[in-house]
Amino acid sequence: MKKSLAAAVAALAVVEAAQSTCALVGAETSIDLYTNPQIDYTSEQSEYWSTSCGDLKPSCILMPTTTEEVAAIVSILAANNETFAVKSGGHNPNNHFASIDGGPLISTKNLNQVILDPVTETVRVGPGNRWDEVSAALDGSGYTAVGGRIGNVGVGGYLLGGGLSFMSTEYGWAANSILEYELVMANASVVRVTQSNYPDLFMALKGGGSNFGIVTSYLLQAYPQGDVWGGNLIFDATDDRTTRTRRPASS
């Protein structure tokens, strides 16, 4: 009886803290905030590869549009010391990796910049993009980036997980082409992580997942890309055009 009561009190404390964060973000910032059953809330919850992740119900969904807004959210979360989750494309099948039940969910959906610099041959990409959106933005530029083999996969989780690509045989993992991470750390400070200024953190982020902060943009090496041709060849299966296989005669 005592254990069940303690568990109920602990669960209530978690819910109250989560509601407090949602309320504080709503009161102190202009960050987009959605709760159940608002359309943006239910729409975002439907965008998971795993339905079990979508079944988890965050207390609110926060959709920042800038790095500074992400830092403001992290500052409030740090003060409340509560559990939260960060979502890019939502393709991770594990519950609580990019989904949460009863706590705030930070959606990076609006952190969706794609900025190509042909002089330096780099492209800055936000984690809220999906790879088909990155490809569409670069289409016709003569450049591409090492990205997902399926266009609907989100940029954020893909790059933090390493990232296999159709271009990996030539350029390696997608993470190998990351030149800089713009990162909001646990104390809400913002740093730009490169090989030269934070070598250990730079290495850890290449496959280390979201354990070291919230990445708000990636500076990627862009590669020259010519025309890509694709399509299907279809042949009618007629008697004149189909090779027949004959069974060997029985002995």
SS (H, E, C) the chain: CHHHHHHHHHHHHHHHHHHHHHHHHHHHCCCEEECCCCHHHHHHHCCCCCHHHHHCCCCEEEECCCHHHHHHHHHHHHHHCCCCEEECCCCCCCCCCCCCCCCEEEECCCCCCEEEECCCCEEEECCCCEHHHHHHHHCCCCEECCCCCCCCCEHHHHHHCCCCCCCHHHHCCHHHHEEEEEEECCCCCEEEECCCCCHHHHHHHCCCCCCCCEEEEEEEECEECCCCCCCCCCCCCCCCCCCCCCCCCCC
Question: Can you read off the two tokens belonging to residue 219?
Answer: 């500076």
Q: What is the pLDDT of residues 199-221, one digit of tens each?
A: 999 999 998 888 899 999 999 99
Mean pLDDT of 109-128: 98
- C-beta of residue 205 within 8 angstroms of C-beta of residue 160: yes
- What pLDDT, on a 0 to 100 scale, did the predictor assign at position 228? 82
Report the mean per-residue pLDDT for the chain: 90
Classify residue 95: in a domain, yes or no: yes
| pTM of the full structure | 0.84
- What pLDDT, on a 0 to 100 scale, did the predictor assign at position 9? 45
Domain span at 12: 2-107
Mean pLDDT of 164-182: 96
Task: Describe the strand order of the beta sheet including 32-34 as a list of residue ranges.
Answer: 32-34, 60-63, 104-107, 85-87
Classify residue 251: in a domain, yes or no: no
117 confidence band (pLDDT: 50, 70, 90): very high
Residues 58 and 145 in one domain: no
Whether the per-residue pLDDT at 19 is higher than 90: the answer is no
d(CA 53, CA 96): 7
- What pLDDT, on a 0 to 100 scale, did the predictor assign at position 125? 98
Classify residue 232: in a domain, yes or no: no
- What pLDDT, on a 0 to 100 scale, did the predictor assign at position 15? 53
Classify residue 235: in a domain, yes or no: no
Number of domains the chain is built from = 2
**Span of 26-35, 105-114, 230-239 with lowest mean pLDDT:** 230-239
Classify residue 171: in a domain, yes or no: yes
Residues 141 and 199 in one domain: yes
Q: What is the pLDDT of residues 143-156, one digit of tens each?
A: 999 999 999 999 99
Residues 95 and 158 in one domain: no
- What pLDDT, on a 0 to 100 scale, did the predictor assign at position 230? 85
Residues 39 and 74 in one domain: yes
Domain boundary, last residue among 107, 138, 170: 107
Using alpha carbons, list the distances in angstroms from residue 2 to 5, 13, 15, 114, 209: 5, 16, 20, 54, 38
Q: At what angle do helices 2-28 and 67-80 cross, to 10 degrees?
A: 150
Q: What is the pLDDT of residues 44-78, one digit of tens each?
A: 999 999 999 999 999 999 999 999 999 999 999 99
Of 17 and 83, the one with more pLDDT: 83
- C-beta of residue 219 within 8 angstroms of C-beta of residue 122: yes
Residues 67 and 152 in one domain: no
- What pLDDT, on a 0 to 100 scale, did the predictor assign at position 243? 59
Domain boundary, last residue among 107, 122, 156: 107
d(CA 175, CA 164): 9
Mean pLDDT of 105-119: 98
d(CA 21, CA 241): 68
Place of tokens 């809330």: 41
The domain that holds 7 is classified in CATH as 3.30.43.10
Domain boundary, last residue among 83, 107, 131: 107
- What pLDDT, on a 0 to 100 scale, did the predictor assign at position 81? 85
